């Protein structure tokens, strides 16, 4: 998560317990406590030194310290749009390329897509200028363009083998287009492509057209956005984030109840409730940049880790988790009511919705720890969840008989309890060491 100058100023003041004397002192704090390099810390520190100290807030819920970022919300909405657009491909692809090839493509594409999305979010999409940083990183932009064009060529020659890559390009490219602000016209184009397939266009041709459209839209989005001089997040940090995201997605792969080759695209639709729940939870977590950070920035040095601050921080996290569970459950019930009449098994659909809702819980916990730079804890949560899900799927998990994804969610919550408690116990240090 990249911070604005106002948020950096609050972080420096929370660390020093006072205003910085000059830009050099602010730069030292940002390097030591913020994990920033000198190249990115010094320009930001000059802006920090010029920002006046905010007045003490009358209450914890009213003062806005910095700009609330909504990139995570737009990312999830972009994934929802592209997932729903590809639901129309499930049955025709299974008929044209075979059920085995289609299921294998979905199981390969989903972990890779989430890994790339987490990588892009961490390295570039940390604020509104994220695409500008991607444009400036010409090697990555050019490499991505070449690989995407190769996918188009491969779809012409070997559509069955290239299908996983085509799905990755569609899901990841849709994210970048939505972040650019072109979500509505892009969604309209996807709707037109789906309608064309209903009128008799072969599904392989339809996939090829969508991939080509996505590649062109991403190229236009990057070229037309203003370049940014701010350095992206370092490669090691970004790659670790991508690995954590990809590992969480393996949960869906190891669960045998998630069947992607069925002629009814329930697994794709069943992902929507947990993704919408993630949107609401992410928006509530933005209160960290308003309620909590404003209070820390306006508090004396000796009171930075007061019980009141810990209570506020804890309420934000618990509130976000509660919103995730509540909205996921509500939309899952609505989804079941809408589609259970055409499902081959009402119980199977209910278990699928439950499992993918639990997948959302694991993703939320891992993303929370990763966003606060608790990389080891986030990685452990993801790995433990996958191992427990695999053990439950094979019948080797001791204890009560739980669905694999439900068992994974319970294990992830237990493993994450201590790291999250440590985050809440020292709000000032948590924010000061966050990169």
Question: What tokens does 196 get?
Answer: 């064309």
Burial call 141-178: b when 16+ CB within 10 Å, e when fewer: beebeeebeebbebbeeebbebbbbbbbbbbbbbbbbb
Segment holding 114, helix H or strand E = helix 99-123
Same domain, 5 and 95: no
| Whole-number Å distance between alpha carbons of 186 and 215 | 12
Question: What tokens does 219 get?
Answer: 């190229």
Is position 172 within any domain?
yes
Same domain, 145 and 18: no
Same domain, 19 and 116: no
User: Which of these three, 197, 218, 233, is where a domain ends?
Assistant: 233
Same domain, 116 and 34: no
Same domain, 138 and 12: no
Is position 13 within any domain?
yes
Is position 60 within any domain?
no
Structural domain count of the chain: 2
The backbone torsions φ and ψ at residue 100, rounded to the nearest 5 degrees and listed phi first, read -65, -45
Q: Is 258 helix (H, G, I), strand (E, B) or coil?
A: coil
Q: Is pTM, for the whole model, over 0.75?
A: yes
Residues of the chain with pLDDT under 50: 1, 55-71, 263, 301, 304
User: Which of these three, 233, 251, 283, is where a domain ends?
Assistant: 233
Segment holding 67, helix H or strand E = none
| Whole-number Å distance between alpha carbons of 149 and 169 | 10
Question: What tokens does 70 get?
Answer: 């909504």
pLDDT at 116: 97
Q: Is the dihedral of CA 176, 227, 115, 156 positive or negative?
A: positive
Is position 120 within any domain?
yes
Is position 90 within any domain?
yes
**What domain range includes position 7?**
1-53
Contact 378, 244 (CB under 8 A): yes
pLDDT at 59: 40
Is position 422 within any domain?
no
Is position 403 within any domain?
no
Same domain, 97 and 154: yes
Same domain, 39 and 83: no
Contact 132, 231 (CB under 8 A): no
pLDDT at 78: 63
User: Which of these three, 197, 216, 233, is where a domain ends?
Assistant: 233
| Whole-number Å distance between alpha carbons of 391 and 401 | 11
Q: What is the pLDDT of residues 230-280, one digit of tens each?
A: 888 889 999 999 999 999 999 998 988 787 655 456 677 888 899 889 888
Q: What is the pLDDT of residues 88-121, one digit of tens each?
A: 888 888 889 988 888 889 889 999 999 999 999 9
The Cα-based distances of 229 to 132, 134, 193, 224, 418 in angstroms read: 8, 11, 37, 16, 38
Contact 110, 218 (CB under 8 A): no
Q: What is the Cα 378 distance to its own chain's centre?
A: 13
Same domain, 83 and 224: yes
Question: What tokens does 320 get?
Answer: 């976000």
Of residues 323, 322, 313, the one with CA closest to residue 290: 313
Long-range contacts of 186-193 (CB under 8 A, 24+ apart): 186/81, 186/217, 187/81, 187/85, 189/213, 189/217, 190/81, 190/82, 190/85, 191/85, 193/85
Question: What tokens does 370 get?
Answer: 């990763």
pLDDT at 275: 87
Same domain, 88 and 222: yes
pLDDT at 316: 93
Segment holding 424, helix H or strand E = helix 404-425
């Amino acid at each position: 998560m990249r911070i604005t100058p106002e948020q950096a100023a609050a972080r420096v003041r929370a660390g020093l317990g006072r205003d910085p004397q000059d830009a050099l002192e602010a730069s030292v704090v940002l390097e030591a406590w913020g994990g920033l390099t000198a190249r990115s810390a010094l320009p930001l520190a000059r802006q920090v030194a010029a920002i006046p100290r905010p007045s003490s807030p009358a209450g914890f819920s009213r003062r806005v310290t910095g700009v609330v970022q909504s990139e995570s919300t737009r990312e999830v909405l972009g994934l929802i749009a592209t997932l729903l657009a590809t639901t129309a491909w499930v049955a025709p692809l299974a008929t044209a390329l075979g059920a085995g090839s289609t299921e294998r493509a979905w199981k390969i594409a989903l972990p890779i897509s989430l890994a790339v999305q987490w990588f892009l979010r961490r390295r570039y999409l940390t604020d509104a200028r994220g695409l500008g940083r991607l444009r400036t990183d010409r090697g990555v932009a050019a490499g991505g363009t070449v690989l995407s064009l190769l996918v188009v060529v491969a779809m012409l020659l070997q559509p069955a083998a290239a299908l996983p890559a085509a799905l990755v390009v569609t899901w990841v490219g849709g994210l970048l287009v939505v972040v650019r602000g072109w979500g509505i016209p892009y969604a309209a184009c996807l709707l037109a492509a789906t309608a064309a397939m209903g009128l008799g266009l072969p599904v392989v041709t339809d996939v090829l057209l969508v991939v080509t459209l996505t590649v062109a839209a991403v190229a236009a989005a990057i070229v037309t956005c203003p370049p940014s001089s701010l350095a992206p997040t370092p490669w090691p940090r970004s790659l670790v984030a991508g690995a954590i995201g990809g590992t969480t997605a393996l949960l869906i792969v190891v669960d045998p109840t998630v069947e992607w080759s069925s002629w009814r695209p329930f697994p794709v639709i069943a992902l929507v409730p947990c993704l919408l729940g993630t949107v609401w939870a992410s928006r509530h977590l933005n209160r960290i940049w308003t309620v909590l950070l404003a209070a820390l920035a306006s508090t004396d040095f000796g009171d930075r880790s007061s019980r009141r601050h810990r209570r506020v921080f804890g309420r934000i996290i618990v509130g976000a988790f509660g919103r995730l569970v509540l909205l996921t459950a509500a939309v899952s019930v609505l989804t079941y009511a809408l589609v259970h009449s055409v499902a081959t098994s009402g119980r199977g659909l209910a278990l699928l919705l439950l499992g993918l809702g639990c997948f959302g819980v694991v993703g939320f916990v891992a993303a929370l720890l990763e966003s606060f730079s608790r990389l080891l804890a986030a990685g452990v949560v993801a790995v433990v969840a996958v191992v427990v899900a695999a053990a439950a799927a094979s019948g080797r998990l001791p204890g009560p008989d739980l669905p694999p994804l439900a068992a994974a969610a319970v294990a992830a919550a237990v493993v994450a309890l201590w790291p999250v408690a440590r985050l809440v116990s020292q709000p000032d240090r948590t924010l000061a060491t966050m990169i």
